[in-house]
Chain A
C-alpha cells in the first residue's frame, strides 16, 4: 500500500483520527507545518507512533468499522506501508475461560532501547501483546490475557469506555527493560518487575466512582498514565476520578487534582509531562459532572499546568476559544515536544489541532476540519 509523500525533516506530529492519519512536518522554528495525508483514508487509526530507537519505523494501529483490526508499518515516513504478517490476536480458549477476539489495537509502545525491534501493544478488549521484529509479527504477551483473576478485573464491555474496554499506557522503565507498567479502562494500574512474566495491581490511593468498592480493581479507571522522562521514579496519572502522582518506591497514589479549582475539577483524559522537569505537567480538564458530558467545562477549554508536582495549578487558555467550544481531547490526543521551550499539541474531538510553542502560555490552531482526533504524538525522525 502506498500513500502520502513523507520525508525526513524536523519535528513531526503524528495525528491519528477516526477517518485516517496525517503527518505534520514542522520547520525548525515550529512556525510552519507541511501536511502529509490522509494516510488510510476511511480507516480508524487509533495510534500512530514513531520508534525513537531508529527514528524511522512508524507503526499505525488500524481498523475500519467493517473489517478486522491490523497494524501497518512504514520505514519511509508513510511513503509506503506494509501490513503486519501476524497482527495482535488472542489465542484459543484456555483455563476454562471464554475465547476472545481483538476488536482493535488501541495503544502502541516501543520497547526498551536495549531491545531493538521489541514493541508492545494494548488492545480492546483488554489484552497485552508483544512484537520482537519491529511490529511485523505479534503474539500474546504475559499471563494476563488468559488469567482468571485478570479476566475478572477486565470487567465486562459495560464496564469499559463507549468504544470498548482498553489496555493502554504501556510503559517501559528506561533504566530496566524488565520493569513495566500498564493501565486499563477499566481495570486499574499494574506493574511487572520480571519483564512481564507476572503483573500486580498498583491502585492504592486511587479513588473510584461513589458506590463502587474501592478495593475491587475492576472499578478503577485510569485514563492516562505517564512516567517522568527525567525521573523514572515518578509517575503521574489522569484518572476517571482525579489526577494523581506516585513517587516510587512508594505504592500509594496522591490525588494532586484536589488542588485544581473546584469549579473546573480534575476529571479529564490526557496528561503531558515536561521532558526535563519532573515537577511540571499539563492536563486538559473536561466536564465530568452529572451525566458526564465529556466536553470543555462551560464550553471554555483550557489547559491547566503545574510547576510544582501538582501542589498548585495555573490556567492556560490564551488563544483558545473563550466560549461556546464544546470539544474535548482524548487520552492519546495530547503530547509535548523536547524543545527548550516545550511545545504542546492536542487534537480535539471536533477535528482541530492546536499547538503552543511556549509551554501553554499562548495557543494557536494548527489545523481545522480533520475527523475526530484519536491520538497526537510528537516524533523526531533521523
Chain B
C-alpha cells in the first residue's frame, strides 16, 4: 500500500510517499522499519503503544490499535499532531 509520511519523519524516507506491505498496522510499520531503520520506534513505543502525537488514518478512519487488520491496497496516512511551542 501507499504510505504518507509526515514531514518530521521524511529524514528517514527522503520523500512523503512510500510503499509498504503488511496485513496489520504494525506489520506495515515493521516493513517501513526494514526499509528505513529506526522509523518505527519514533511512532510506536517499546510497549507497542502509538506515541502521543502520532495519528494513523486508513480510508478516513483513525486507527488506535497496532494490531488492526488492513487490506493489501489503499493508503495509510501517518500524521503528526503538532502541539506546544
Contacts and interface: CB of A to CB of B under 8 A. Distances in A.
Interface stretch (A65-73, A111-119, A281-289, A291-299): A65-73
Given A89-B46, A92-B47, A102-B46, A66 B53 contact: yes
Given A1-B11, A90-B46, A67 B38 contact: no
Contacts of B54: 66-67
A209 interface: no
B49 A101 contact: yes
A133 B46 CA distance: 21
Nearest to A101: B45
A70 B53 contact: no
A67 B80 CA distance: 8
Interface in B43-59: 43-47, 49, 51-54
B84 interface: yes
Interface residues of A, number: 20
A68 B81 contact: no
A90 B52 CA distance: 17
Interface size class of B (residues with CB under 8 A): 20 to 34
A93 B11 CA distance: 32
A64 interface: yes
Nearest to B81: A66
Interface of A: 1, 64-68, 70, 83-85, 87, 89-93, 99-102
Given A83-B38, A85-B37, A85-B38, A66 B82 contact: yes
Given A90-B46, A102-B46, A68 B51 contact: yes
12 contacts: A66-B52, A66-B54, A67-B53, A67-B80, A68-B42, A70-B38, A87-B38, A90-B46, A93-B47, A101-B46, A101-B47, A102-B45
Contacts of B82: 66
A90 B45 CA distance: 9
Contacts of A93: 47
Contacts of B37: 83, 85
B42 A65 contact: no
A101 B37 CA distance: 19
A66 B8 contact: yes
A67 B11 contact: no
B2 to A, nearest CB: 21
A348 to B, nearest CB: 18
Nearest to A102: B46
Contacts of B45: 68, 89, 101-102
A192 B45 CA distance: 29
B49 to A, nearest CB: 7
Contacts of B64: none
Given A101-B46, A101-B47, A68 B41 contact: yes
A362 B41 CA distance: 46
Nearest to B40: A68
A68 B83 CA distance: 15
Contact of A65 (B11, B43, B47, B53): B53
Contact of A70 (B42, B51, B52, B81): B42
B8 A64 contact: yes
A85 B33 CA distance: 11
Nearest to B49: A101
A312 B73 CA distance: 73
Contacts of B41: 68, 70, 87, 89
B10 to A, nearest CB: 12
A83 B54 CA distance: 20
Contacts of B83: 65-66
